[in-house]
Every structure is written in structure tokens, then in C-alpha cells.
Amino acid sequence: MNEVVSAIRLVPLEHYVMLSFALFSIGLAGVLFRRNTIIILMCLELMFNSVNLLLTAFSAHHSDPGGQVFVFFIMLVAAAEVTVGLAILVMMKRNVDSVDIDQLNRLRW
């Protein structure tokens, strides 16, 4: 066992899980909390990152690179999503002149 391994093992996996859960929940609460779409998108990013953190922690503890590859893909997807999301946002802003999610309610019932 070298020091890297022991360093990784020093922090219990549970801690990462809990931290990740905390970030995830904060992100989730943020999504519900805010009206500004941009912030909501950021909260979503926060949620993604909590997952990333979790995956990395697991990956490290399992000593399996797969998890980190997955994180890599999540980042890719997040980037793509953000691109699309922001494009949609810009389009919306053009249409309604607002990024307030509560303004969007023409489609209902």
C-alpha cells in the first residue's frame, strides 16, 4: 500500500457520499428555489457535479478508471446540454423578454 492509496482511504467513502448528497440536495432545492432560469441551470450543473464527485470517489475507492471516464462523459454531455439550454434560453428571451420560469405558462391544462 503506498501513500496514494492510504491517502484516498483516509477519507471514508461515506463522507463523499454524504457530501455528494448534500450538494445534490442543495442543487435540487436551488432548482425549486429560484425563478431565474440561468441560476436554475447552474443549480442543475451543481447536481451534475455532485454526481461527478460521487462517481470519482467511488472510482478511486474501487480503483476503477471507468467511473472517471463516466465523469468525463458527463462533462461532455453537460457541456452539450448547456449549449443547447442556453440557446433555447436566448430564443426564449427573444420571444418573451424574460428568463423567469414563472412567465412560461401559455401551455397548460
> CB of residue 94 vs another protein: minimum separation in angstroms?
8
C-alpha–C-alpha distance, residues 9 and 13, integer Å: 8
What does the buried/exposed string (b/e) look like for 51-62 if buried means 16 or more CB atoms within 10 Å of the residue's CB?
A: bbbbbbbbbbbe
> CB of residue 100 vs another protein: minimum separation in angstroms?
6
> CB of residue 74 vs another protein: minimum separation in angstroms?
6
Instruction: Please name which of 40, 26, 41 lies closest in space to residue 79, comparing C-alpha atoms.
Output: 41
The grid cell for 47 is: 447536481
